Homo-oligomer: A and B are copies of this chain.
Amino acid sequence: MEQEIRTLFWQDGAVVMIDQRALPLAERQVICTDYHEVIAAIKDLTVRGAPAIGVAAALGIALGARRIEAPTSAAFLNAFEEICRQFAATRPTARNLFWAIERMSRCVAEALQARLPKPKGLASGISFVEIMSPSAPARPAEKEEGDSWQPVRETLVAEAVRIGDEDVAINRRLGRNGSELIPEGSRILTHCNAGALATAGYGTALGVLRAAREAGKAIHVYVDETRPVLQGARLTAWELMREGIPCTLITDNMAGFLMRQGKIDLVITGADRIAANGDAANKIGTYALAVLARAHDIPFLIAAPLSTIDPALPDGDAIPIEERDPGEVTHCGGVRIAPEGIDVYNPAFDMTPHALITAIVTEAGILRSPFAEAIEKLSPSSSTD
């Protein structure tokens, strides 16, 4: 049994991550000792995949908080929020990024509030936000010790590490739930990388396939190479080969033909953000696969943790779609493939309407149409409490 893939983790006061730009040609780690390095790693795809981006942001925020020097809690919080804003500006589509930032923000609020001496006779309902509000009068009860943030910092590191650990546990539950939908002998198409590398470990869509294998099922995976960044060819292929899961690499434009040939029983992908009605943003090309799967009467599954769900968005058209550098399209493997000066359109994601989705596999169970009802019944934050 191969050692488990640990995509990113906290170690000796640093954020350590597999360098996903280098895979599969080289297996190496990037060690970030400054939060700006984590921000750069998210932007340049050293770490990618919605859940992994969330974990990276949590660890990166904890890393940044270790350097905050502030005379007051309000100043500490201001500095903390500035760090969060920088992480929020890295990539717009993955819901898990904002979910992780929100969770770290709740954590710091509670940690800072815990430092306050219990005020006598004060209604317990007063929130930290009110206390920190600039319009609120300075509270004489607050202890101001600019050099004693260590407990807050440790709390934040512990929370970030917990987010990563929980992610792996969530993916294992999600995987077990989803494996019931994988028939023995299935030939499964997947797109991009929704594997261990897209998460803290185990993976979402590939977690379902791992769980199916652990349950003793024979499967064969067709891997879309997933241009422009080739997460399929580089990362999913590497993960599956590493675990001995039989797989075949294809270019993205072959998937439809394989379906017509009867070679695909099932499609499963991850998601970067899911709206309240079940519409799902995922790697560019996912929408086309969903249309093709429907045309061939093939089940189309999404596997994603609840932290991917954004109940504030009524539908997928409200999901922001990141456009990335044209160089990703004009180059491949670092080599220019298109004429100089060519105009390029490079949306990193697309949106699959819920009507094309057969089921959404989560750690809380399998959601089916009507998705709006199924999602409303869930409390997305419940999994993290």
CB of B339 within 8 A of CB of A241, answer yes
Whether the pair B332, A234 counts as a contact (CB closer than 8 A) is no
Question: A239's closest neighbor in chain B, by CB?
Answer: B339
Give chain B nearest CB distance to A313 CB in angstroms: 18
Q: What is the distance, in angstroms, from A109's C-beta to the closest C-beta of chain B?
A: 39
Query: A238 interface residue, CB < 8 Å from B?
Result: yes
Known: A227-B227, A285-B256, A350-B256. A251 touches B329 (CB 8 A): yes
- A window 90-107: CB within 8 A of B: none
Contact B247 A343 (CB under 8 A): yes
Q: Could you tell me the distance between the alpha carbons of A334 and B334 in the complex, rounded to whole angstroms?
A: 10
Residue interface bits A317-340, CB-to-B below 8 A is 1, else 0: 000000000000111111111110
Select one of B237, B251, B254, B341 contacting A339, CB under 8 A: B237
With CB as the reference atom, state the residue of chain B lying closest to A296: B291
A253 and B252 within 8 A (CB): yes
Given known A-B contacts A226-B253, A253-B284, A291-B291, A241 and B341 have beta carbons under 8 A apart: yes
In the assembled complex, the CB of A217 is this many whole angstroms from the nearest CB of chain B, namely 19
Interface flags, A243-268, vs B, CB<8A=1, else 0: 00011111111111110100000000
Q: Does A25 interact with chain B (Cβ within 8 Å)?
A: yes
- Within A329-367, which residues are at the interface with B (CB < 8 Å)? 329-339, 341-347, 350-351
The yes or no answer to A287 lying at the interface (CB within 8 A) is yes
A249 touching B338, Cβ below 8 Å: yes
Report the separation of the CA atoms of residues A160 and B253 in the bound assembly, to the nearest whole angstrom: 35
A/B interface sample: 27 pairs, CB < 8 A: A24-B338, A225-B227, A227-B251, A228-B251, A230-B332, A233-B337, A233-B338, A237-B338, A241-B339, A249-B330, A249-B342, A249-B344, A250-B346, A251-B252, A251-B284, A251-B285, A252-B253, A253-B253, A253-B288, A254-B285, A256-B285, A257-B347, A257-B351, A258-B345, A291-B291, A332-B333, A332-B335
Interface flag for A224 (CB, 8 Å): yes
B345 and A254 contacting across the interface, CB-CB below 8 Å:
yes
Residue of B nearest to A247 (CB): B343
Q: Find A337's partner among B250, B333, B343 (CB 8 Å cutoff).
A: B333
Chain B residues closer than 8 Å to A255, beta-carbon distance: 288
A78 to B234, CA, bound (A): 50
Collect the chain B residues with CB atoms within 8 Å of residue A330's CB.
Answer: 233, 249
Tell me, yes or no, whether A129 is within 8 Å of chain B by CB.
Answer: no
Within 8 Å CB of A339, what residues of B? Answer: 24, 237-238, 241
**Known A227-B252, A254-B347; further 14 A-B contacts with Cβ < 8 A:** A227-B253, A233-B342, A234-B338, A241-B339, A248-B345, A249-B329, A249-B342, A250-B346, A251-B285, A253-B253, A253-B288, A258-B345, A295-B295, A333-B335
